[in-house]
Structure 1
Amino acid sequence: MMLSTCSQRYLDMFPIFTVRVERLKGFCEFVGQEYHNILGHGNVCWMSMLTALESVLKMYVPLKSFFISEDKCSVVQRTMFKDPLTELWLAFVHGNLTVFSDTIKMLGGQDRCAVESAAILRNVEAKLTARRNDNFIPVLVRGLLRELEENGAMSKESFLKTTQSFFTMAVNYLQAWGKHSDDLKDLHGLLLKRQPLREEIQKAAVTLQEKCPNVTINEDALCDEVTGLQEFLNGGSLEEWKTETPLSHRWSTVVTHFKENDIPHTNLARLASVMCLPGSNAPVERVFSQMNDLWTAARNRFTVPTIKAMLIVKTNFNQVHGEAGQRQSNPEEYTFF
């Protein structure tokens, strides 16, 4: 936060001012450090923050010298770089930002459903809680904290008190905004990450019928269907599926097996239908991005039906390069409107 509010706008000027870049390169040469490009962080894009912090930490010594020696450096920026704790807190944020960046990547997956997203958020909440309880200190921070303690600039107790507040606030935020997904935890057995227990499937059926009274599930018949599911998974499917195998592919494989072998699965299919709930608005945002690429100022005479047809083609017919260099379609990734 300190970087983005105090100096980020100034750092963004480096790529467009050649003279300033050359002066910064001179600082790097003076302190004997390799020059790295200073990357900017977009306020609307969380994913850029980690990369921006990495570039700043690699260049922190020359950057500090550069800003302090600047005649036109603002008071806020000069104060920030003169503060001996600045590098410590930037390193602390960098050490924990990976948790948030990885979570955002997983939540933004094309085939992510609401139940998966709820499990991901609960997992990151558990990670942050564990870091708080264990008084977690990133590796890069340990050396900086040791130096500050020796110089009397900060005590370890004061540092841990602040970090405890950080983790507590993050956990409270996730809990407050994740209340709407509390009921989804009863459906985690349907994710097929492991062999689902019969009790988990029964609990999922009860929860679904409570939240969706129009959904009818015969729990007696469901018991036999769960037996068939467990037998199928015991056949080696769990080992064949990789960790990144989409949930839609897992259930598609199960339903196809049941149909081909005339195994009843009506109630199980109704349970699995809840996996159609989207986990985020990321796939929709991607469609809007594709539309903006197609419907430009130079091509503004497209009709709505034409744009719709083009988007359906681009969304549903994702093509990847085959091993032989030929383009092959992947029907398992089709997404129908």
Structure 2
Amino acid sequence: MSEFVDQDYAPLLRHVGTRWLSLLPAVTRLSECWPSVKAYFLSLGPDDCPNIVWKYLKDCENGDEGDGESCILPAYLSFFKNTLVPFHSTIQILEKDMTTTPELYSYMHQLYSKLHQRHDDKFFGEQTEEYLSQLNDNKSSPVITDFLLFYSNAIKYLEKWFQFSDKNLFKKIECLSLTDPNLSYSNLKGIVTSLSLKTDINLDDLYEEFSSIKQVLSVIASDPSNVGEKWMKVINSSNVSSNTPANLIKLVSFVLSMPVCNAYVERIFSLMKNYWRDDRYQASVKLIRCEIQIKLNFKYSCQEFHKYILRNRRLLEAAKSNKKYSFKS
């Protein structure tokens, strides 16, 4: 069929319902292969083509893109190809290893604002506008209504699962991203209260520790480093190096250890499944845990890790001894 429509062959991609990142590539590939896909289903005819497909495809029988005044599918494909980009890029950022909880609210609010802006401007993408201009008014009006409804539903979905207000915990801890030099003690105290950490953190000492780093914040705010590296620079700065800010370290460590999304947890379960195979069913929980810790915390390649092991004499001696076997010790 690809040869018939003079198009290079490319397999369609499958979208997995629980994997958001598979949606944009699948839609993009379908859009690129549209002439071949359209030709295939049209060749089946109304009797053999699935009813739901033929319902929308029957108006596209004439020309490469249909008759120009009735075929609406290219407009929908182009719209989703354009609109899914901010969703895709946001999820990619949130699933990065270096993304931290203080950055979460900012990224979510950016997506929220983009959707509002697109809805208010009735922006559907330049190519989508071209397809809409080819449709008559009776066809284009319902399509535009569908596009605006998509934006509205997406916004409502975000509002249902994420609170876009100052009451949101992630909004309160946003200041720990150190992008604003105006971080105050009241911000830190509010975070301690919201996280119920008053029994673990001495607020009087926290104030003194914050006072010692306040001058560093204006410089750190413009630093391009990630959040974790910024805090390392703050803690290791000359102003505080003589007196370790224990309470500040507790607070920052607690916040930065909070997962941004469930991607990391799912990655753990995926690794666990690979290591705890049927042929290793007698492996202990401790062994699997150690293997996963090594896999996640060592950034070496296999060759680099092999060299590291050979240089570590203590580790080699421990591996040769019986200490690793609890039943032999």
> TM class, shorter-chain normalised?
0.7 to 0.9
Counting only pairs closer than 5 Å after superposition, residues 45-60 of structure 1 correspond to structure 2 as 45-60=19-34
1:59 positional shift:
1.4
How far apart, in 2, do the equivalents of 1:182 and 1:75 lie? 46
Letter in 1 for 2:289: K
- Give the AA of the match of 2:32: K
Q: What 5-or-longer segments of structure 2 have no aligned partner?
A: 60-70, 309-329
Q: What corresponds to 1:144 in structure 2?
A: 131
TM norm structure 1: 0.75
What does 1:37-52 align with in structure 2 at a 5 Å threshold? 37-52=11-26
Change (3 A) 1:78 1:38: same
Distance 1:261 1:115, change over 3 A: closer
Deviation at 1:175? Answer: 1.3
Q: Kindly tell me: are residues 214 and 82 of structure 1, through their superposed partners in 2, closer, same or farther at Cα, counting changes over 3 Å?
A: farther
Paired with 1:297 and 1:266, the residues of 2 have a C-alpha distance of 46
Cα-to-partner distance string for 1:147-167 (whole Å, 9 max, x where unaligned): 113xx4524x54443322221
SS at match of 2:13: coil
Contact kept, 8 Å, 1:291 with 1:307, in 2: the verdict is yes
Map 1:203-282 onto structure 2 (within 5 A).
Answer: 203-212=187-196, 213-214=198-199, 216-218=201-203, 225-235=209-219, 237-242=220-225, 245=226, 247-257=227-237, 261-263=241-243, 265-272=245-252, 273-282=254-263
The answer as to 2:55 corresponding to 1:79 is: yes
> How far did 1:112 drift?
3.4
Q: Name the residue aligned to 1:36.
A: 10
The answer to whether the 8 Å contact 1:112/1:280 transfers is no
User: How far did 1:283 drift?
Assistant: 1.3
Q: Are positions 1:191 and 2:172 aligned together?
A: no
Supply the RMSD in Å over aligned alpha carbons.
Answer: 2.9
Report the Cα distance in structure 2 between the residues aligned to 1:210 and 1:98, rounded to whole angstroms: 34
* 1:132 aligned onto 2:119: yes
Amino acid at match of 2:34: Y
Give, in whole Å, the separation in 2 of the partners of 1:228 and 1:134: 47
**Counterpart of 1:289 in 2: which secondary structure?**
helix
Out of 147, 156, 178, the position equivalent to 1:163 is: 147
- 1:222–1:137 Cα change, 3 Å: same
Q: Is the 8 A contact 2:27 2:81 kept in 1?
A: yes
How far apart in 1 are the matches of 2:285 and 2:191?
A: 41
Distance in structure 1 (CA, Å) of the matches to 2:4 and 2:138: 26
SS state of the match for residue 99, structure 2? coil
Return the offset for 1:289: 1.1
Distance 1:215 1:167 in 2: 44
Tell me the distance in 2 between the aligned counterparts of 1:190 and 1:77. 50
Superposition deviation, residue 256 in structure 1: 2.7
Identify the residue that residue 96 of structure 2 maps to in structure 1: 109
Q: Which portions of structure 1, spanning 4 or more consecutive aligned residues, are displaced by more than 6 angstroms? A: none
Q: Do 1:113 and 1:280's aligned partners in 2 also have CA atoms closer than 8 Å?
A: no
Alpha-carbon shift at residue 50 of structure 1 (Å): 0.8
